[in-house]
Structure formats: structure tokens, C-alpha cells
Amino acid sequence: MTCEPSRRRWSRAVGSVGVLVLCGCSLPLTLGHAEPTGPRVVFADEFDGPAGSPPSSSWRIETGGGGWGNNELQVYTDNTDNVSLDGAGNLVITARGAAMDQITSARITTQGSVEFTSGRAEARIALPAGAGLHPAFWLLGSDVDRVGWPAAGEIDVIETLNDAAEYHTGVHAPRQGTARGQEVSASGPAPFPLPGQFHTYWVERSPGRIVTGIDDLTLFTVTPADLAADSTWVFDAPFFLLLNLAVGGSWPGPPDESTPNPSTMLVDWVRVTAT
């Protein structure tokens, strides 16, 4: 795991003009560059900048917590102790705490700035490991503030728990009669070591299809046919990106004395390619 050397432990086309000659007549001919086709990069952040500076304004730093998600322990802040550039081309999201009820971390999103419908979103990340740690790269439907969750839909590109020996990826779709919707997901032993190692985590979205993976490996595919009859496919609408490091709660369980304090999630770059 990539962390600080000294660690405390948890106490808890421009065209050109020529001439075309046709049937003895001279006519102007415009020669230009064809419009590019296929995927195009609509967002890229290399996290270049001075050490200690916040991420670019494309990112919205969310604050709050202490019970968010799965009854997590951390409070998200906009303090550079929790989210900042390291001066070496990485974004650092840091969880730290003096006690179980004093854990801070960070969660950043592209809501309102970078949202896409079809294409690929990917991030090169070195994930942390430790009891109670829950890092994630994920997407939410852009209308979440209006319709709520899970009605807006959620796409989990990568989540790991504790020692990060397994991967978790999937979607949450709205389903009649349940407040938490339907989860369709995949999990299993990590195909190679994840903690402290940079890997590219990605999602590809096309109408009626979502695919996620790590590096060159595909992990998960879902289509409307995989949903229950009373669930709704909401994944052909705009979604935005999220990166965060959660701590504790009902899914990973609590941190303990073995948990690195601080714990860091490093992000080398993030890109969105639209189709």
C-alpha cells in the first residue's frame, strides 16, 4: 500500500481553397479536413499542480457524512489534509483520525461539470488496504438531486473492502416496492494484487449495455434483460463521476489498530471518452 512512511494506528478543420477544372470551366474547390468520427475525449485530468493544492474546479468536493452510505464513520471535508494534489501528478484522497468518532476523509464528484451518456470513463488508481477501508470509483445519475436514489441509478466501477483481496462492481436500479432498488453485481478474488498498485478501472456505456473492467480484463456486463420485471433500466441517461474513500460501517466493518492512519487512495488520472 502506498502511504506515508510514518503511520499512526487507528485508536479505533480549417479548409484550403484550390481550383477544380471541369469541362473547360474553372470552379473553386474547397479542400478541408474531415470531421473526426468515433470516440472523443471530453474530459481528462492528469492532476498536475503544486503539492497541497486542491483538485481543479471540474471537481466538486462534497462535505458531510458521519453515517452516510452504509452507516460509515468518516466525515467528508474539503480540507487539503483529506484531498489535494501531491505535486507528482497524483490526486491524494486521505482518511485519517484521532479516534473512532473523529475520522475525516474526502469524496469528490463531477456533478454539474462532467456528465456523459455513452462512452468510457476510466481512472488509474492505487487503492488502499486496511481494516474498515472502503474506496470506490463510481457513477450516479445526473438527476439524483431531483428524483433521489436509487431512482437515478448507480454504477459501481470498482469498490474494495478491507484488505482489497476481492473486487466489487455492479449497478443499482430502481425497483418497485423497495427503497434500495435492485443490485446486479459481480465480485470475486482480485485477478492481481490491487493495494498500492496502479491499475486502470473502467466502465463502457452504450444504449442498453454497461461493461466494467480492470486494465485489459472485463469483469461485468449488464443489460436490461438482467433486471427483474419490476425494475427500471435508467442507465441510458447522463451520469457523473465520483471518487471517495469511506471508512467503517456495516459493509467493511470498523477500522482497528492495524489500519494505516492515514490511509491514502492515489489517483493518477481520470478520462471520459464519449461516443
Cβ contacts of 176 within 8 Å, gap of 6 or more: 230, 231
Low-confidence ranges of the chain (pLDDT < 70): 1-37
pLDDT of 39: 83
pLDDT of 127: 98
Cβ contacts of 114 within 8 Å, gap of 6 or more: 42, 43, 58, 240, 241, 272
pLDDT of 25: 42
CA 221, distance to chain mean position in Å, is: 17
The answer to whether the beta carbons of residues 55 and 108 sit under 8 Å apart is yes
pLDDT of 36: 56
Domain boundaries, the chain: 8-274
Q: Is the pTM of this model over 0.85?
A: yes
pLDDT of 38: 72
Find the catalytic residue in 72, 159, 183, 204: 159
pLDDT of 66: 87
CATH architecture, range 8-274: Sandwich (2.60)
204 catalytic per annotation: no
pLDDT of 100: 84
Q: What is the dihedral of CA 266, 268, 274, 275, to 10 degrees?
A: -110
183 catalytic per annotation: no
Find the catalytic residue in 72, 115, 122, 154: 154
